[in-house]
Amino acid sequence: MTSTNRPRLLILSLGGTITMVPSDSGGITPKLGAAELVASVPALAEVGDIDARSLFRLPSPSLTPANLVEVARVIEEGFASGFDGAVVIQGTDTIEESAFLLDLLVDSDKPVVVTGAMRGADAPGADGPANLLSAAIVAAAPESCGLGTLVVLNYDIHAARFVQKSHTALPSAFLSPLVGSIGTLIERQPRFYVRVKRNPNLSAVAGPPAPVALVKVAMGDDGRLLGSLPGLGYAGVVIEGMGAGHVLADVAPIVGDLAAKIPVVLASRAMTGPVFTHTYGYPGAEIDLIQRGVMPAGYLSGLKARLLLGLVMRGGKGVQVAEAFAPYQ
């Protein structure tokens, strides 16, 4: 932290439910800016000196990886100019992806915290103010340093690599089913129960991820889509296999042919758990697929494996795929 007792916090709003109020056309839409959100939570003034900026006003399904690369660049510039922590406000639909991108791209031990809300700003019991205050407190805390990007909602503190949205409506929608939350905000103090090791960073300067397809395997799926993917301009493919990383036996040769053309990463369609590497040996199981050139995603979800592979494939080389996925095995 800085030498003063007042941490400097950069708060960046991208839009989302936390910023939404009713529109004339019906429903709620993003309207509130960062300054308005900060002004609505007077207790933030007790946390530190805040610079609030509205980078975008988008619902989170309309955010792109390129937007998050820009966010990472702004955060790195802010840290270089003396900010002690950063809070990113956005919609919850894509928080698990945005947070993982920032975890990969922001090359600093200073805290980056992503938050949002499950209820609109005008709703009774809106959770946005509490989540924003909680996120700012975590971002200002010295003990949050060195943990990579964090996600804070409903008083829970999650590591970006593990967090998933698990419900469409509940304020408790965010879980880290593999390990649980790494901490909790209690009495306005972050209490960390475990500390995760930071994984290697990839450069934000190199731009947004290359396009990577994400394909979920279903019972009886004959794999007919897979062969068309290289011709559609995809730089790589993530396959969400069944169970510990399995496809139909007849599809395995198709996957192998695809892996000979572009990188193919194997994740699981299950909610959590690692892809196996040496247990099942039948055709279409993980041993067979790995022998055909497929790279296991480890414990990363398909959504996150897609982002990591896309960042590695910038420039079209992809020679670092195995190295990039090694920390997640």
In angstroms, the Cα distances linking 198 to 75, 111, 117, 327 are 17, 12, 26, 10
Query: Alpha-carbon distance 155 to 151, whole Å?
Result: 10
Q: Are 35 and 52 in contact (CB under 8 A)?
A: yes
Residue 114: how many other CB atoms lie within 10 Å: 32
Phi, then psi, of 144 in degrees rounded to 5: -85, -10
- Tell me which of 2, 17, 19, 94 is the catalytic residue: 17
Q: Is 93 annotated as a binding residue?
A: yes
Asked if residue 229 lies in contact with residue 237, where contact means CB atoms within 8 angstroms, the answer is: yes
Q: Any known ligand binding at 60?
A: yes
Number of alpha carbons in the 13 Å side-chain half-sphere of residue 153: 31
Report whether 325 contacts 308 (CB < 8 A).
yes
The response to whether 92 counts as a known ligand-binding position is yes
Whether 168 is catalytic? no
Q: Identity (one letter) of the amino acid at 276?
A: F
Buried b (16+ CB within 10 A) or exposed e, 215-228: bebeeeeebeebee
Single out the residue of 277, 214, 194 nearest to residue 65, CA to CA. 214
Rounded Cα distance, 32 and 10, in Å: 17
Q: Is 210 helix (H, G, I), strand (E, B) or coil?
A: coil
Q: Is 329 helix (H, G, I), strand (E, B) or coil?
A: coil
d(CA 296, CA 61): 27
Please state the residue numbers annotated as binding site for substrate. Answer: 60, 92-93
Catalytic residues: 17
